[in-house]
Amino acid sequence: MRAIGGLWRWRHNPLRRGTDLVEAWVALVALLLILVVAPVIGSVVGGVAQDALQRSVRDQRATRHEVTATVVRELAHSPLETDPDTSGLRDARSRVVADWKAPDGTAHHGPATASLNTPHSGDHFTIWTDTHGNIVARPLDSATATTHAVLAGFGAAMLTAGLVEGGRRLIVWRMVRGRYARWDQAWDRAGPDWGRTGTGS
């Protein structure tokens, strides 16, 4: 920001080096890219993600169906599950053997995850299946899809801004190294005569 503010000051300053002006222009271009290009890229990525996710929402709603299942018996918990996070989830959802009817009318029997704390034989709960009755995950809802799209767009904008800033820093770093190299060369040329009376005469 100081380099951008110094653009006007550097215009006619007799102490200005060529690299000072270039550094200020690089900072100005980087700022414009961050303020203009990064939001555009973020909105484009967010829009593409939104379209793809909403299409997925529609497809999942068309192919996944909520059906009612009946508990036959509860399945025993695995003794290997000792993770406290897993056990907390297990308290809210139980593994059971259940019967359900698929949307195509076929009967199914097998293990399922029930949203019941203490399932008993004959209890009812809902599950999501495909057309043939195979258990599938709950379909993505529109609000969650929109949230994911917004996060994707924001992430793309931040990544673009980070790349621009990284490029600016790399350019400035190379310019500073070149400046130091030129100083070293100037000192090497002046070194043998430094401090001698009548130097250059």
Q: pLDDT tens, 43-81?
A: 999 999 999 999 999 999 999 999 999 999 988 765 444
Instruction: From 9, 44, 40, select the one nearest 23 (Cα to Cα).
Output: 9
195: left (phi over 0), alpha (psi -120 to 50) or beta: left
pTM here?
A: 0.65
Q: pLDDT tens, 3-17?
A: 455 555 555 656 566
Sheet holding 107-114, edge to edge: 107-114, 94-101, 65-74, 124-129
Identify the pLDDT of residue 80: 46
